[in-house]
Amino acid sequence: MNKRTVLIVDDDTIWLRSLSNFFKIFNYEVGAAMNCADAFNLARKLRPDCVLMDYHLPDGDAGPLCARIRADQDLKKTPIIIVSADGEQEYGAYLKHQADGFVLKGGPLNRIRMLVESMLRRVWWERGILEKGDLRLETENLTVFKDAKPVARLSLEQFRFLFMLMERSPLFVEENDILKFVFDTKIVPNKFDALRGLANRLRAKLGPRLGRRIKNKNALGWIYLQPPGDNRRTYKKPRSGTEPVS
């Protein structure tokens, strides 16, 4: 599974260290900040998958920080969870500050992690993200990521081809099914040559190490093969049919 990145914002150094170490155990990249200003600058740099913040911070409460994140084009869809000992702020966290979740400090740390995982599943559902092993496809920008780092931005047809193979992996996909899905039509001139040309261009975009994961057997069709021994969980966004992009 690609590493997720969580940004934790809290001025309690013991809590900050404990929560950071807890998420690292579960293979998260962790950024830490102790005030609103540092938190926003770090968020711009890291573009975290989720932000966990205390409500009361040295340079203000969570409200202005939430507002800055929601106003930033690159960060506005990032889930925000308020983790605070002040339970009276739960109502305002949701309605005033557009937070996605609220958790009281003092409970099991695993409760916070479960909420983060739930938020990420919802966000990925909405964004059309498919992840298998060390690769992640993001429909929104037609981009392939490996270990959370961008590898290539594909054409629409290349993206549909790879999306279908990864979604069906480790099964073969028949060429006729791929053609209907990728080209969105039943009529494709020299369709099988067109598919092989598309596969070659996709492999070139991905590079030799990733490109060799896409294989073909004439009698069976095409397949995406994750390297042996990689049993990491797959996350995908279910859709009606298999269409990843409109």
93 & 154 share domain: no
Task: Print the domain residue range for 12.
Answer: 5-127
**55 and 116 in one domain?**
yes
Residues 16 and 114 in one domain: yes
Dihedral angle of Cα 137, 139, 141, 145, to the nearest 10 degrees? -10
CA–CA dist 62, 56 (Å, integer): 6
Q: What angle do CA 159, 138, 27 make, to 5 degrees?
A: 130
Q: Identify whether 229 is part of a domain.
A: no
What's the pLDDT band for 243 if we cut at 50, 70, 90? very low
- Looking at residue 186, what is its pLDDT? 55
Statement: residue 237 has pLDDT above 60:
no
Indicate whether 214 belongs to any domain.
yes
Contact 209, 192 (CB under 8 A): no
Domain boundary (127, 157, 190) is at: 127
* pLDDT given for residue 123 in this prediction: 73
Report the range out of 13-22, 88-97, 120-129, 146-155 with the highest average pLDDT. Answer: 13-22
Pair 203, 101 in one domain = no
Same domain, 9 and 111: yes
Main-chain phi, psi angles of 122, to 5 degrees: -65, -45
What is the overall mean pLDDT for the chain? 84
Burial of 117 (C-beta count, 10 Å sphere; 0-12/13-18/19+) = middle
The pLDDT of 7-34, averaged and rounded, is 94
88 and 146 share one domain: no
Out of 118-122, 219-223, 230-234, give the one with best mean pLDDT: 219-223
* Maximum C-alpha span of the chain: 66
pLDDT in the model for residue 162: 94
Domain at 47, CATH number: 3.40.50.2300
Question: Across the strands, what pairs with 82?
Answer: 53, 102
- Residues 26 and 116 placed together within one structural domain of the fold: yes
Q: Which residues pair with 173 in a beta bridge?
A: 222
For residues 163 and 76, membership in a common domain is answered with no
3-state class of 98 per DSSP?
Answer: coil
* Domain count within the chain: 2
Judgement on whether residues 53 and 15 belong to the same structural domain of the protein: yes
The model's pLDDT over 159-204, given as tens digits with 9 standing for 90+, comes to 999 999 998 899 999 988 888 888 765 555 677 788 899 999 999 9
Task: Quickly tell me which residue has 């992690």 as its tokens.
Answer: 113
| DSSP letters for 41-78 | HHHHHH--SEEEE-SEETTEEHHHHHHHHHHSTTTTTS
Question: Has residue 46 been placed in a domain?
Answer: yes
Residue 4 — very low, low, confident or very high, per pLDDT cuts 50/70/90? Answer: confident
Average pLDDT over residues 61-78: 88
Place of tokens 């859709």: 239
Same-domain check for residues 164 and 101: no
Residue 209's CATH number: 1.10.10.10
